[in-house]
Structure 1
Amino acid sequence: MKNTANAKENIIKVTTELIEENNGNIENITARTIAQKAGVGLGLINYHFGSKENLITTCVQRIIEKVIAGFDAKKEYATDKERLIGWANHVFDFLFEHSAISRVSILGDMQNYTMDCNSIRSQRGFMLALTKEFEDKDKPLLSFILTATMQAAFLSGTTSQELLGYDFTKQNDRSAFIERLVTMILENNRNEVSL
């Protein structure tokens, strides 16, 4: 049983590496290549995952779960805004530092948007950042707007620089974008509430 579990983890590890190497072009990755690089029989991939697509989904979900788990919930922030900016920067940097995985995740979610997809997991993570200053009823929409905007900015590629004035290949521009975005979203919410 231990060897089977080790083989399964090795398959996931190899597949994740292949996704990165192929810049997210999963069409270029065959189950046969995965099996060969993992040193397992092709049947073991089907046994554990049912299909290459399920394996890819498993890999991407694990990676995104690690990103969300990387939110430092114990770190003290003076405000919800600071916490949300910190966590959003963490996710936005990941998107660009691991663009192949991120593209697979976002596009996969758009084709199959469910309550357990990575986009919803990210939104739930952002809702946890809003602990003190916002009503519970507003948190899902605020986190949805933030997540969707970050995803659109990521997918826009170089067009975002022309359209928005930010070069997302530069960490400083990503941080400036996130700070402005979060500020706009939260201030708009406060203005709505005060009306």
Structure 2
Amino acid sequence: MKKAEEMKERIIRSTIELIEQGSGDIGEITTRMIAEKTGIGISLIHYHFQTKERLVELCVQRIITGVIENFRPSVAAADSPLVRITAVARQVADFLAANPAISRISILGDLTQPALQDNTALTMAGFSAAWQGGKSSSGNPAALNVKTAVFALTALIQSAFLRKEQSRELFGYDMENKEERDRFIGWMAERLFRSDVHES
């Protein structure tokens, strides 16, 4: 690895440690704190990342990617596809609620710079796997409908999370209340994944 790349990685690792130590409260992290933790001057951070916000967004995306890749939902393969996808969607929504600062950065980053392997796409892949129960969907005529429903579910959860302070007034559910959040997700999943549309 080149020296510049090694330095960038040191800065990223130090910033991730600060984010994790602050329980995701990124508002408290300063460029000076990052520089001190890394043992470098502030100018090197600006040289490699231009702004603290850009560095933090990159770090948050890495954190969330790691969480998604290691996420093992607590569902049984014997459960119906609707039960599996509803359970996984509720667990994703619980993560967003428990980690609002990093979740917001990740969602907004994906919305402004979408990519086929971003955190939104990885979440969608997880929902698809939950629906399929580990089975391949190739050759299944309903697979396109499932992909569309998975996209809609992901977008709805993200949008509801981003507007959680106004959720009760906007659509009648308090997204900061677990019980109401679970009801909202159950309602959405039932409508998006009707068995007559997505026979497996």
The two structures share one fold, judged by TM-score above 0.5? yes
Tell me, in whole angstroms, the C-alpha distance in 1 between the residues paired with 2:30 and 2:11: 17
Name the SS for the 2:168 alignment partner. helix
Q: Look up the equivalent residue of 2:59 and give its one-letter code.
A: C
Equivalent residue, structure 2, for 1:111: 112
Contact 1:85 1:182 in 2 (8 A): yes
Q: How far apart are residue 178 of structure 1 and its match?
A: 1.0
Contact 2:32 2:42 in 1 (8 A): no
Name the SS for the 2:160 alignment partner. helix
1:67 aligns with 2:67: yes
Name the SS for the 1:162 alignment partner. helix
The alignment yields a C-alpha RMSD, in angstroms, of 3.3
Q: How far apart are residue 19 of structure 1 and its match?
A: 7.9
Query: Which consecutive unaligned segments of at least 5 residues does structure 1 have?
Result: none
Equivalent residue, structure 2, for 1:165: 172
Q: How far apart are residue 45 of structure 1 and its match?
A: 6.5
Number of residues of Structure 1 aligned to a counterpart in Structure 2: 185
From the superposition, tell whether residues 103 and 137 of structure 1 become closer, same or farther in structure 2 (CA, over 3 Å). Answer: same
Percentage identity across paired residues of the two chains: 29
Q: How far does the alpha carbon of each residue in 1:33-92 deviate from its partner, in whole angstroms, 9 at most, with x for none?
A: 2122x2521379749x93145532332223323432223377434111111111111110
Equivalent residue, structure 2, for 1:149: 156
Query: Which consecutive unaligned segments of at least 5 residues does structure 2 have?
Result: none
Name the SS for the 1:20 alignment partner. coil
Q: How far does the alpha carbon of each residue in 1:96-143 deviate from its partner, in whole angstroms, 9 at most, with x for none?
A: 111111111111111101112211111111111121697322232111
Tell me, in whole angstroms, the C-alpha distance in 2 between the residues paired with 1:159 and 1:54: 28
Q: Look up the equivalent residue of 2:184 and give its one-letter code.
A: F
Name the SS for the 2:83 alignment partner. helix
Tell me, in whole angstroms, the C-alpha distance in 2 between the residues paired with 1:18 and 1:115: 30
Equivalent residue, structure 2, for 1:185: 192
Name the SS for the 1:120 alignment partner. helix
Name the SS for the 1:160 alignment partner. helix
Q: Look up the equivalent residue of 2:57 and give its one-letter code.
A: T
Equivalent residue, structure 2, for 1:11: 15
Tell me, in whole angstroms, the C-alpha distance in 1 between the residues paired with 2:182 and 2:45: 42
Contact 1:67 1:94 in 2 (8 A): no
1:176 equivalent among 173, 179, 183: 183
Tell me, in whole angstroms, the C-alpha distance in 1 between the residues paired with 2:78 and 2:43: 47
TM-score, normalization by structure 2: 0.76
Equivalent residue, structure 2, for 1:127: 128
From the superposition, tell whether residues 74 and 62 of structure 1 become closer, same or farther in structure 2 (CA, over 3 Å). Answer: farther
From the superposition, tell whether residues 159 and 193 of structure 1 become closer, same or farther in structure 2 (CA, over 3 Å). Answer: same
Tell me, in whole angstroms, the C-alpha distance in 2 between the residues paired with 1:71 and 1:120: 17
Q: How far apart are residue 167 of structure 1 and its match?
A: 1.4
TM-score, normalization by structure 1: 0.77
Equivalent residue, structure 1, for 2:92: 91
Tell me, in whole angstroms, the C-alpha distance in 2 between the residues paired with 1:170 and 1:160: 11
Contact 2:15 2:56 in 1 (8 A): no
Name the SS for the 1:172 alignment partner. helix
Q: Look up the equivalent residue of 2:191 and give its one-letter code.
A: M
Name the SS for the 1:61 alignment partner. helix
